[in-house]
A and B are shown apart, each in its own frame.
Chain A
């Protein structure tokens, strides 16, 4: 079964600073990988996804993520954080083939200081 680890429960950055949120997955084959964002009181919104091909994936709101097979990682990055990026971020993995059960990490809470 697949699993996802987000090592950082909270991340605090200053507005305008760069951001990297970590995600490590465990799966026997090439996974499908997702990053979602959850604003307070809202559902989850997809930021970006990786299925195959180029390992650097561009998403909405200026986010990108890089799939590194050797490190089993799919870290989310943004070069300059805005105050509106403060939210909860979830990494998720979906299994190729067989039944589809998207598995989510515990989430990383992003705090943005002015």
Chain B
């Protein structure tokens, strides 16, 4: 398996624009996580899915962020409208679940909002 695949690797956008980050988890993994990494906050869990259903999105700003998993092999994280404070590296991770299995991370998407 190629591992968790994220696209794009880098994204530069202007404030107010819509941004869509994409993730393909490892085949057969039931859990999918979206994390945001910044210098100030470290790694923050934004949302996670189990079998395509949102289990917890309490870490995600609901007014501008939305996460979807339309099928078992694809997830998106959308930001609309984007703001400079959204600049960060966004990681997608997947795992077999439940708690005693490791999460496999993608290489991340570096988002810069100017």
* Chain A contact residues: helix, strand, loop or mixed: loop
Partner of A100 from B43, B97, B104 at Cβ < 8 Å: B97
Binds B, one of A45-53, A61-69, A70-78: A45-53
User: Does B12 lie at the interface of the complex (its beta carbon under 8 Å from any beta carbon of A)?
Assistant: no
Complex Cα gap A102–B56 (Å)? 12
Binds A, one of B70-78, B80-88, B105-113: B105-113
Complex Cα gap A42–B56 (Å)? 26
What residues of B have a CB within 8 angstroms of the CB of A49 in the complex? Answer: 102
What residues of A have a CB within 8 angstroms of the CB of B102 in the complex? Answer: 34, 46, 49
What residues of A have a CB within 8 angstroms of the CB of B55 in the complex? Answer: 99
User: Does B34 lie at the interface of the complex (its beta carbon under 8 Å from any beta carbon of A)?
Assistant: no
What residues of A have a CB within 8 angstroms of the CB of B42 in the complex? Answer: 104-107
Closest chain B residue to A50, Cβ basis: B100
Number of contacts between A and B (CB, 8 Å)? Answer: 52
B99 adjacent to A95 (CB under 8 Å): yes
- Interface residue tally for chain A (C-beta within 8 Å): 25
A53 to chain B, nearest CB (A): 12
A103 adjacent to B99 (CB under 8 Å): no
User: Does B4 lie at the interface of the complex (its beta carbon under 8 Å from any beta carbon of A)?
Assistant: yes
Closest chain B residue to A90, Cβ basis: B43
A102 adjacent to B105 (CB under 8 Å): no
B5 to chain A, nearest CB (A): 11
Contact digits for B9-35, partner A, Cβ 8 Å, 1 yes 0 no:
000000000000000000000010101
Residues of B within 8 A of A (CB): 4, 31, 33, 35, 42-43, 45, 48, 55-56, 91, 93, 95, 97-100, 102-108
Which 4 A-B pairs rank lowest in CB-CB distance, beginning with the nearest?
Answer: A43-B105, A106-B42, A104-B43, A44-B105
